[in-house]
């Protein structure tokens, strides 16, 4: 398998590099370029918390070889080299962005650049807002450090007098205060100072009781292992087990330490010793600014041309004001595309069925919900109106565990039946089932999506959701919910592909059918769009298909472990990945199937965990017009010559069809397509 695959972690770093490409593109609006740096930084933090943490655990096992034939320690070394290289590019991009901002009369300044008037403002802001929220820790050589948060940045302070030095740490309270402080201005120029530089400006005031000649500070940041040590017993007491594990996460093993490269060597050595870091660990020196993830929330200042043009979500042409949603679904299947079309259609659907006297029951899965979720509140309203409401709540949604515990408690108090996942399996499927009594029989309406039922992320995540009254599909969605209630009752599925029971087998079966067709001289084609493609068995079958002459094409946003060309086996699999204003998140699977054209949307990526260790649902698209619509969507993405990168064997990330005209940005082109359909 080594001749057709690459290491998935290194592939992920190549994906993150594509974000740096966007941040460096002059044609991307300036503030959006800053935000891409923030996304890159946020992604990298999560990569170290999860991927690197797992590799570090594996590296402790003697003679362990990964599935791609590499040693964990070797991959860790390659990761560090790649991250260091990307960090240098990151700093160059940021330096250029500062110059570009200055040309727009926007200045990010530090404590040494303040005018007298700005200094007075910063001092007042510090005394009123900042000082009450900071608690300096004096570092003693013979005392351990308190537990440090991995989601924070710290000012490492050095106070010097003659040959004596004293050290301290201050956590910058970005969880309580804005990272960016906009300074008052008497002209059109806008000045911004970072919160840590506000603190730096007042260091002498903070440590007034110490005797020192000079005082300096340096940003440091650490990253912890975020994997929870959980057994799979989702039974009584599971919430307590999870809560304890979340507490332990705050003291978990360190996996990375980043610091201002100008920090004195003796101070750095002291910190590393107290944190139990070895010189062989991931220790990265950089600029004076860290936690760039906060730049995702850079303040809204400056003119419109500094931002992406706003596109308001479209209403769906088959959803008409004054017509009941379920009546529209009964007429024909409805396929929604987010964020191009409004997610509030789904919230309005839930609001409608919560008061519909004929609706008897609502069931839904919940993975990552919005902070003040209108979806959850609509379900609560349905329960208050006498509907039987069931929510399958996955507590193990990483970094959303605490939120989901709170949602579970609220739903339970409001009379909603809450099912806390499935033992041994993470529930990642996106399902909603509505039961309505119509003319002495109960009719089921199903919603199956590729993304979370989350009105906030739906504004930036590109996803699909199918609404259908097809009795065969609705019946099988009901079987999935029955499995959630009775884990021994798996059920048979003829339409849905359900992980971990049927999806792997049926996907491989459909690939084999295309191989057979190609060998018989018939047209054969496979088109895959997903976030990650790393499962070795699926990769092997796709390569077999390409060798047999099947037209295989791959559209993957993130990790792609498949090598797209093989000189030895004489095949090529065109592969692209799109990075643009919206996060490509939908999963679409297409097989020509002798002209039948099997088309699916899914919650599942082609990863071993999705196929074997999660409950995922893949739903067929039967309506010919909807198939055509999805094929048009995929075709636009393949024609994209501004945001689509070629994912070749060397992961060069070159723009697809670069230099061709006219320029086509698939996300904007698809919005225009949906708008034209609505206006017909």
58, 74, 95 — which closes off a domain?
A: 95
With beta carbons less than 8 A apart as the criterion, state whether 421 and 366 touch. no
pLDDT band of 237, cuts 50, 70, 90: very low
Q: Is residue 308 included in any domain, yes or no?
A: no
If you write DSSP's letter for every residue of 17-83 in order, what string do you get? HHHHHHHH-TTS-HHHHHHHHHHHHHHHHHHIIIIIHHHHHHHTSTT---TTS--HHHHHHHHHHHH
Reduced DSSP (H G I as helix, E B as strand, rest coil) percent helix, strand, coil of the chain, to 5: 40, 25, 35
pLDDT at 67 exceeding the cut of 80: no
pLDDT in tens, 103-124: 999 999 999 999 999 999 999 9
Query: Lowest-confidence range among 72-76, 97-101, 345-349, 415-419?
Result: 72-76
Does residue 368 contact residue 454 with C-beta atoms inside 8 Å?
yes
Query: 10 Å Cβ neighbour count for 422?
Result: 17
Question: Between 434 and 243, where is the model more confident?
Answer: 434
Range 650-671 average pLDDT: 93
- 672/633 same-domain check: yes
Residue 229 has pLDDT above 50, yes or no: no
Q: What is the mean pLDDT of residues 662-668?
A: 96
Q: Which two tokens stand for residue 281?
A: 């660990």
**pTM, rounded to two decimals:** 0.93
What number is the average pLDDT over the span 407-424? 92
Least confident of 49-58, 128-137, 545-554: 49-58
pLDDT at residue 622, as a whole number:
98
Instruction: Please tell me whether residues 416 and 437 are part of one structural domain.
Output: yes
Mean pLDDT for 46-70 is 84
Give yes or no: residues 446 and 586 share one domain. Answer: no
Q: In terms of domains, do 433 and 352 share one?
A: yes
Residue 139: pLDDT over 50: yes
Among the candidates 95, 118, 141, a domain finishes at 95
pLDDT at position 65, please? 82
Q: Is there a domain that residue 553 lies in?
A: yes
Closest among 140, 136, 221 to 170, alpha carbons compared? 136
Question: Does 336 reside within a domain?
Answer: yes
- In-domain check, residue 653: yes
Residue 197: pLDDT band (50, 70, 90) is very high
C-alpha radius of gyration, the chain, whole number: 27
Whether 247 shows a pLDDT value over 60: the answer reads no
Q: Domain with 167 in it: what CATH number?
A: 3.30.1840.10
Of how many residues is the chain composed?
Answer: 680
% of the chain surpassing 70 pLDDT: 94
| Of the candidates 148, 167, 162, the residue with the CA atom closest to the CA atom of residue 221 | 148
> Which residue range forms the structural domain that includes residue 139?
105-230+257-291
**What is the C-alpha separation between 472 and 487, in angstroms, rounded?**
21
Residue 396 has pLDDT above 90, yes or no: no
Query: Kind and range of the H or E element at 622?
Result: none
Cα–Cα–Cα angle for 82, 87, 88, nearest 5°? Answer: 105
Residue 397's pLDDT band (boundaries 50, 70, 90)? Answer: low
Domains contained in the chain, number? 4
Answer yes or no: is 247 within a domain.
no
Identify the domain boundary among 489, 524, 549. 489
Give the Å distances, CA to CA, from 465 to 238, 576, 594, 629.
31, 23, 26, 13
Task: Quote the CA–CA distance of 80 and 421 in Å, as a whole number.
Answer: 36
Which residues are part of the catalytic machinery? 428
Q: Evaluate whether residue 586 is within a structural domain.
A: yes
> What's the pLDDT at 398?
67
More confident residue, 378 or 283: 378
Q: Which residues pair with 444 in a beta bridge?
A: 435
- In whole angstroms, what is the distance from residue 170 CA to residue 153 CA? 9
Say yes or no: 514 and 618 in one domain: yes
pLDDT of residue 240: 52
Kindly indicate the confidence band of residue 454, based on its pLDDT and cuts at 50, 70 and 90. Answer: very high
- The SS3 assignment for 347 reads helix
What pairing do the DSSP bridges indicate for beta strands 583-584 and 461-468? parallel
CATH code of residue 73: 1.20.58.310
Q: Are 114 and 201 in contact (CB under 8 A)?
A: yes
Q: What is the DSSP letter of 144?
A: P
Q: Give residue-wise pLDDT tens across range 318-336.
A: 999 889 999 999 999 999 9
Residues 18, 148, single domain; the answer is no
Report the C-alpha gap between 268 and 359 in whole angstroms. 64
> Given pLDDT bands bounded at 50, 70 and 90, which one contains residue 287?
confident
Residues 463-472: what's their mean pLDDT?
Answer: 98
Instruction: Tell me, yes or no, whether 297 lies in a domain.
Output: no
> The domain spanning residue 528 has which CATH number?
3.30.870.10
Residues 528 and 468 placed together within one structural domain of the fold: no
Residue 252 is predicted with a pLDDT of: 64
Pair 119, 201 in one domain: yes
Residue partners of 630: CB distance under 8 A and separation at least 6: 335, 464, 588, 590, 599, 601, 621
Dihedral sign for Cα 55, 58, 59, 60, please.
positive
Same domain, 589 and 480: no
Regarding whether 540 and 420 lie in a shared domain, the answer is: no
Classify residue 295 as exposed, middle or buried by CB count within 10 Å of its CB (0-12, 13-18, 19+).
buried
Query: Is the domain of 135 the same as that of 279?
Result: yes
Q: Is the pLDDT of residue 243 over 80?
A: no
Mean pLDDT of 328-348: 97
For range 2-14, the mean pLDDT: 88
Whether residue 238 is contained in a domain is answered as no
509 and 535, same domain (yes or no) = yes
| Helices 666-679, 624-639: crossing angle, 10 deg rounding | 150
- Going by DSSP bridges, is the β-strand pair 583-584/587-591 parallel, antiparallel, or unpaired? unpaired
């Amino acid at each position: 398998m080594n001749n057709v695959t690459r290491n998935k972690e290194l592939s992920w770093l190549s994906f993150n590099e594509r974000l740096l490409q966007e941040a460096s593109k002059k044609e991307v609006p300036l503030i959006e370029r800053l935000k891409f740096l923030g996304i890159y930084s946020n992604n990298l933090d999560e990569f170290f918390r999860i991927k690197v943490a797992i590799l570090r655990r594996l590296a402790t096992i003697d003679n362990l070889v990964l599935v791609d034939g590499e040693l964990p320690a070797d991959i860790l070394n390659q990761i560090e080299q790649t991250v260091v290289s990307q960090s240098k590019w990151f700093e160059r991009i940021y330096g250029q962005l500062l110059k570009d901002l200055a040309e727009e009369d926007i200045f990010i300044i530090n404590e040494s650049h303040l005018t007298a008037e700005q200094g007075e403002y910063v001092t007042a802001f510090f005394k009123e807002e900042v000082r009450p929220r900071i608690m300096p820790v004096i570092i003693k050589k013979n005392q351990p450090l308190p537990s440090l948060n991995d989601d924070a940045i710290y000012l490492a302070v050095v106070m010097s007098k003659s040959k004596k030095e004293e050290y301290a740490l201050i956590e910058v309270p970005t969880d309580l205060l804005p990272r960016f402080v906009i300074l008052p201005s008497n002209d059109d120029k806008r000045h911004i100072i970072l919160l840590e530089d506000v603190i730096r400006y007042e260091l002498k005031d903070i440590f007034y009781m110490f005797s020192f000649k000079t005082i300096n500070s340096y940003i440091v940041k650490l990253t912890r292992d975020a994997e929870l040590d959980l057994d799979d017993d989702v039974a009584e007491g599971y919430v307590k087990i999870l809560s304890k594990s979340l507490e332990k996460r705050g003291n978990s093993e360190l996996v990375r330490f980043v610091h201002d490269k100008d920090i004195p060597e003796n101070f750095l050595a002291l910190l590393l010793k107290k944190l139990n870091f070895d010189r062989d660990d991931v220790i990265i020196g950089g600029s004076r600014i860290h936690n760039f993830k906060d730049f995702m929330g850079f303040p809204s200042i400056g003119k419109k041309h500094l931002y992406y043009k706003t596109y308001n979500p479209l209403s769906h042409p088959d959803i008409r004001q004054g017509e009941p949603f379920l009546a529209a679904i009964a007429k024909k299947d409805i396929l929604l595309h987010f964020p191009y079309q409004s997610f509030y259609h789904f919230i309005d659907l839930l609001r409608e069925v919560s008061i519909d006297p004929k609706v008897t029951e609502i069931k839904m899965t919940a993975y990552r919900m919005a902070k003040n979720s209108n979806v959850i509140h609509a379900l609560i309203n349905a329960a208050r109106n006498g509907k039987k409401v069931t929510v399958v709540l996955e507590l193990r949604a990483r970094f959303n565990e605490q939120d989901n515990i709170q949602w579970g408690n609220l739903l339970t108090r409001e009379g909603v039946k809450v099912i806390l996942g499935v033992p041994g399996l993470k529930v990642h499927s996106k399902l909603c089932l509505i039961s309505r009594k119509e003319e002495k029989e109960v009719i089921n309406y199903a919603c199956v999506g590729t993304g979370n039922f989350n009105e906030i992320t739906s504004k930036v995540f590109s996803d699909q959701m199918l609404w259908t009254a097809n009795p065969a599909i609705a019946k099988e969605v009901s079987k999935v919910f029955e499995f959630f209630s009775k884990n021994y009752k798996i059920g048979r599925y003829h339409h849905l592909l359900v992980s971990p029971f049927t999806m792997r087998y049926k996907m491989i079966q459909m690939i084999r059918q295309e191989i057979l067709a190609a060998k018989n001289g018939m047209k054969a084609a496979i088109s895959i769009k997903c976030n990650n493609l790393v499962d070795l068995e699926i990769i092997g079958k796709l390569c077999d298909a390409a060798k047999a002459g099947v037209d295989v094409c791959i559209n993957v946003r993130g990790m792609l472990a498949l090598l797209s060309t093989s000189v030895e086996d004489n095949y090529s699999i065109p592969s692209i990945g799109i990075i643009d204003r919206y996060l490509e998140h939908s999963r679409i699977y297409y097989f020509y199937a002798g002209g039948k054209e099997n088309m699916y949307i899914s919650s599942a990526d082609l990863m071993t965990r999705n196929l074997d260790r999660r409950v995922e649902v893949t739903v067929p698209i039967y309506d010919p017009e909807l198939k055509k619509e999805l094929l048009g969507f995929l075709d636009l993405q393949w024609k994209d010559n501004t945001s689509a990168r070629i994912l070749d064997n060397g992961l060069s990330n070159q723009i697809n069809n670069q230099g061709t005209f006219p320029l086509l940005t698939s996300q904007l082109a698809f919005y225009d397509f949906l708008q034209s359909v609505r206006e017909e």
